Copies of this chain bind each other. A is one copy, B any other.
Amino acid sequence: MDQEALGSVVLLAIVTLISVVQNDQTLSVFLTAFFASKVEHESKHCNGKGFQRPGSSAFDRVYTANQNCGHAYPTFLAVLWCAGLLCSQAPAAFAGLMYLFVRQKYFVGYLGERTQSTPGYLFGKRIILFLFLMSVAGILNYYLIFFFGSDFEMHIKTITGAISPLLLIP
């Protein structure tokens, strides 16, 4: 790709690469817990202490957290790139970075001992919604140019740039 086309995706690529590193970390935690659970299960089986009650073990929590993160990942990538390509790159990359922070917090919080207050099964809904609305705005703007010749791209970029810091509010 030439320099100009590269410039329009480089921030998105950086966020994607960070998410890959995070995926890898998450997978490592999962596999460590998997091995530990295997060993625990085997020892329990040999001692004949009966079946493990499902839903209570640490492994189950890690497994659920890993499943949730894994299922949401392709959706996140699709929305991130759509928002970045169709609308504005910098706010999309910022929102993607916020999503990765929230995911890290979610995964760490899930492994905590407080089973009473599991931090919900969904996370980062607000950020995904923001990226989704950015994509929709970009598509609407394309059709406005196509049919009416009026370009609101600068306004949309200003607005999304102004709204994106609001994602920092917890």
List residues of chain A with CB under 8 Å of any chain B CB: 1, 3, 6-10, 13-14, 16-17, 19-21, 23-24, 27, 31, 34, 38, 41-42, 45, 53-55, 66, 70-75, 77-79, 82, 85-86, 121-122, 128, 132, 135-136, 138-139, 142-143, 145-146
B55 touches A3 (CB 8 A): no
> How many identical subunits does the complex contain?
3
Given A38-B55, A82-B16, A122-B31, residue A7 in contact with residue B142 (CB < 8 A) = yes
Which of B17, B78, B121, B122 meets A82, CB within 8 Å? B17
A6 touches B78 (CB 8 A): no
Which of B1, B20, B138 meets A132, CB within 8 Å? B20
Residue of A13, A23, A70, A79 with most chain B CB atoms under a 10 A cut-off:
A13
A74 touches B71 (CB 8 A): no
Q: List 11 A-B contacts (CB under 8 A).
A: A1-B8, A3-B142, A6-B86, A9-B86, A16-B82, A17-B132, A20-B78, A21-B132, A41-B55, A42-B55, A74-B77
